[in-house]
């Protein structure tokens, strides 16, 4: 009994397929990093707003978190890409739709917004894990509320939530594969494209799998170094 | 102990990667033994093979053709051959034929040499034109009119390939080529102004157009950028079965059943009216090789 499927691992490096994969990797890295920058800053901001004493800010940030956290990313991406420009009315929407590379920008934007809601939740967990005494101690030194967050609580919380942030950083690269559905030519898109051209989908998908694995392991290693560097002395750690 | 476990897992994993075995039995023997033929149909390939929401079953030109095939097989084996339908997608149609899940895929698959390397194809039964759907008031009459415009096509289709090839050859210079996931999304992109022309087969474009609320707003352009021959897919190395499928197509043309089915699905009152071009009519007449009544007997 033979195999009906002839393996040809050459599709992973033969031209133009090898070049496609490299282009895919580059795009995945760009989407992941740019999305992560949005997610980190927006997430920290939203997460902090959720514990501020001002009711309206709390309401807005809670609404943001719940909306973005509870809608599947695929649906969000479709919404931003297809319906998003219509929010701005007929004329401006038309102009937005004319932008070359709109799907790429929308993917970064949507990924950033979605991941921000998750980062915000981790921030809230970080704040909650800091004891009340700590807050009162800071305030008693004469700092204002914003100073307290900026100089003490946020840096402290960030160090506590570094391990879950690593997971989010990993997830953003994995979620970037969903950008394929709006035609962004990242790794998964390229592996499917190789499949469509050569019908060697098993090799192409396995190749993509290893690329994601290597990418993920690299992120874990780098974040591991950062984690051990910023570990809070005296806390339980590795 | 632990080491054996790890080795065992590694072997199991490797086997999973490799396990795409062919069926040792010939397709014909299998059909005779089981009295069933496993058919692969598409879900949304109007009018060739699609799911009718009213009855919840696969219908279409190729599905009716499958009925003819089953009937002929029934005559061959002297018993009723039952059709077991499976839903396939452009991505799964070839793997599912190759790994034996289905015996034959009957839909609207374009015959290409690259695909021929993985599976066998029947005779060509239809030619579709790769063309564009554009707004009626766009004034696009020829390919050069599409220069500077944004055009779209679905991922993994031969249509996308044709558009990219023409752009690379400099036959026209699109501002951007947008890749969509599905045809309805392509239509959405066209309607929302993300693209000015959407490319796929003319039959599919007409199907999309007919479904739209303002079907009068759109039109397919009068030119074609590529021709796509449609054929049915089978496993390699089952020539008896392949002959049988080919004979079924030829016999249908000879007896006029083919034209009857064409009229039912693509005639003026069909699901998607596609006038039969003279070239296509000639092709059908010319490819009929001598065949006589009772060919289905062994």
Same domain, A146 and A130: yes
Same domain, A166 and A222: no
Q: Do B178 and A183 touch (CB under 8 A)?
A: yes
Q: Do A5 and B20 touch (CB under 8 A)?
A: yes
Query: What pLDDT is attached to residue B216?
Result: 86
- Which of A171-175, A197-201, B179-183, B212-216 ranks highest by mean pLDDT? A171-175
Q: Which of B95, B181, B188 sits opposite A181 (nearest CB)?
A: B181
Q: Looking at the domain B24-127+228-287, which fold is it?
A: D-Maltodextrin-Binding Protein; domain 2 (3.40.190)
DSSP at A13: T
**Residue A45 in domain:** yes
Interface test with B, best of A199, A200, A206, A209 (most B CBs within 10 A): A199
Residue A212, domain extent = 185-229
Query: What pLDDT is attached to residue A193?
Result: 87
Return per-residue pLDDT of chain B as tens, 298 residues.
Answer: 667 766 766 666 665 555 544 444 588 988 999 999 999 999 888 889 999 888 889 999 999 999 999 999 999 999 999 999 999 988 888 889 998 899 999 988 889 888 898 899 999 999 988 999 999 988 888 888 899 999 999 988 889 989 999 999 988 899 999 999 888 889 989 988 889 999 998 888 888 888 888 888 999 888 889 888 999 999 998 989 999 999 999 999 999 999 999 999 998 888 888 878 888 899 999 999 999 988 988 7
Same domain, A164 and A207: no
B164 touches chain A (CB under 8 A): no
Question: For B268, what's the count of Cα atoms within 13 Å in the CB-facing half-sphere?
Answer: 0
Residue boundaries of the structural domains of chain B: 24-127+228-287, 130-227
- What confidence tier does A236 reach under pLDDT thresholds 50, 70, 90? low
Cβ burial of B278 (10 Å; 0-12, 13-18, 19+) is exposed
Same domain, A62 and A151: yes
Same domain, A141 and A85: yes
Same domain, A178 and A193: no
Query: What pLDDT is attached to residue B22?
Result: 46
Same domain, A101 and A211: no
Query: The domain that contains A136 carries what CATH number?
Result: 1.10.3720.10
User: What is the spatial distance between Cα B85 and Cα B66, in angstroms, rounded to a whole number?
Assistant: 10
Contacts of B98 in chain A (CB under 8 A): 4-5
Same domain, A172 and A75: yes
- What confidence tier does A54 reach under pLDDT thresholds 50, 70, 90? confident
Query: What pLDDT is attached to residue A26?
Result: 95
Kindly state the average pLDDT of the residues A139-159. 91
Q: Which of B98, B99, B155 sits opposite A192 (nearest CB)?
A: B155
Q: Do A3 and B20 touch (CB under 8 A)?
A: yes
**Residue A58 in domain:** yes
CATH 3.40.190.10 fits B130-227, yes or no: yes
Q: Which residue of B has its CA nearest to A78?
A: B185
- Looking at every residue in chain A, the average pLDDT score rounds to 89
Residues 6+ apart with CB under 8 A from B205: B131, B132, B133, B198, B220
Query: What pLDDT is attached to residue B23?
Result: 44
For residue A183, is the peptide bond before it cis, meaning its omega torsion is within 30 degrees of 0? no
Contacts of A77 in chain B (CB under 8 A): none
Query: What pLDDT is attached to residue B223?
Result: 86
Same domain, A85 and A169: yes
Q: Do B192 and A196 touch (CB under 8 A)?
A: no
Q: Do A198 and B235 touch (CB under 8 A)?
A: no
Same domain, A141 and A211: no
Residue B265 to residues A202, A225, B48, B62, B227: CA-CA distances in angstroms?
A: 37, 65, 8, 10, 20
Q: Do domains B24-127+228-287 and B130-227 have the same CATH topology?
A: yes
DSSP at B129: E
Query: What pLDDT is attached to residue B20?
Result: 46
Query: What pLDDT is attached to residue B17?
Result: 56
> Which has more confidence, B6 or A184?
A184
Asked whether the predicted pLDDT for residue A125 surpasses 90, the reply is: yes
- How many domains, chain A? 2
Query: What pLDDT is attached to residue A3?
Result: 58
Q: Which of B98, B114, B176 sits opposite A5 (nearest CB)?
A: B98
Q: Do B194 and A196 touch (CB under 8 A)?
A: no
3-state secondary structure B29-81: HHHHHHCEEEEEECCEECCCEEEECCCCEEECHHHHHHHHHHHHHHHHHCCCC
**Residue A162 in domain:** yes
Query: What pLDDT is attached to residue A22?
Result: 92
Query: What pLDDT is attached to residue A1?
Result: 42
């Amino acid at each position: 009994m033979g195999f009906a499927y002839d393996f040809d691992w050459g599709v992973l490096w033969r031209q133009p397929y090898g070049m496609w994969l490299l282009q895919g990797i580059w795009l995945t890295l760009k989407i992941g990093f740019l999305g992560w920058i949005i997610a980190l800053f927006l997430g920290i901001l939203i997460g902090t707003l959720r514990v501020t004493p001002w009711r309206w800010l709390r309401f807005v940030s809670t609404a943001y978190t719940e909306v973005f956290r509870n809608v599947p990313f695929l649906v969000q991406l479709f919404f931003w890409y297809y319906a998003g420009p219509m929010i701005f009315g007929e004329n401006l929407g038309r102009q937005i739709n004319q932008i070359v590379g709109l799907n790429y920008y929308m993917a970064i934007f949507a990924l950033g917004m979605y991941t921000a809601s998750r980062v915000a939740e981790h921030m809230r967990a970080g704040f909650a894990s800091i004891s009340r005494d700590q807050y009162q101690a800071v305030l008693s030194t004469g700092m204002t509320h914003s100073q307290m967050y900026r100089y003490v609580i946020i840096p402290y919380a960030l160090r506590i939530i570094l391990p879950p942030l690593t997971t989010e950083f990993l997830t953003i690269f994995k979620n970037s594969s969903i950008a394929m559905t709006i035609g962004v030519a990242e790794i998964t898109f390229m592996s499917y494209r190789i499949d469509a051209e050569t019908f060697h989908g098993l090799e192409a998908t396995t190749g993509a799998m290893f690329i994601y694995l290597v990418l993920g392991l690299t992120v874990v290693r780098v974040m591991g170094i950062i984690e051990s560097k910023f570990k809070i002395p005296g806390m339980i750690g590795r | 102990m632990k080491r054996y476990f790890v080795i065992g897992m590694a072997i199991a994993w490797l086997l999973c990667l490799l396990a795409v075995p062919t069926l040792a039995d010939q397709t014909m023997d299998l059909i005779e033994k089981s009295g069933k033929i496993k058919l692969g149909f598409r879900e949304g390939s109007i009018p060739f093979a699609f799911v009718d929401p009213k009855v919840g079953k696969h219908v279409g030109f190729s599905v009716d053709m499958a009925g003819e095939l089953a009937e002929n097989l029934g005559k061959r084996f002297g018993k009723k051959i039952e059709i077991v339908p499976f839903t396939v997608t452009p991505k799964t149609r070839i793997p599912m034929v190759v790994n034996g899940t289905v015996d034959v895929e009957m839909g609207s698959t374009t015959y290409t040499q690259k695909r021929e390397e993985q599976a066998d194809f029947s005779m060509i039964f239809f030619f579709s034109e790769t063309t564009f759907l554009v707004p009626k008031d766009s004034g696009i009459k020829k390919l050069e009119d599409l220069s500077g415009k944004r055009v779209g096509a679905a991922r993994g289709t031969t249509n996308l390939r044709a558009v990219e090839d023409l752009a690379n050859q400099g036959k026209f210079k699109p501002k951007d080529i947008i890749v969509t996931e599905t045809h309805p999304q392509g239509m959405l992109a066209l309607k929302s102004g993300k693209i000015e022309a959407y490319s796929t087969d003319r039959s599919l474009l007409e199907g999309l157009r007919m479904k739209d609320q303002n079907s009068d707003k759109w039109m397919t352009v009068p030119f074609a950028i590529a021709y796509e021959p449609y054929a049915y897919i089978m496993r390699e190395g089952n020539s008896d079965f392949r002959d049988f499928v080919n004979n079924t197509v030829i016999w249908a043309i000879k007896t006029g059943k083919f034209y009857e089915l064409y009229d039912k699905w693509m005639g003026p009152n069909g699901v998607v009216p596609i006038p039969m071009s003279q070239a296509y009519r000639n092709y059908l007449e010319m490819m009929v090789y001598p065949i006589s009544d009772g060919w289905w007997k062994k």
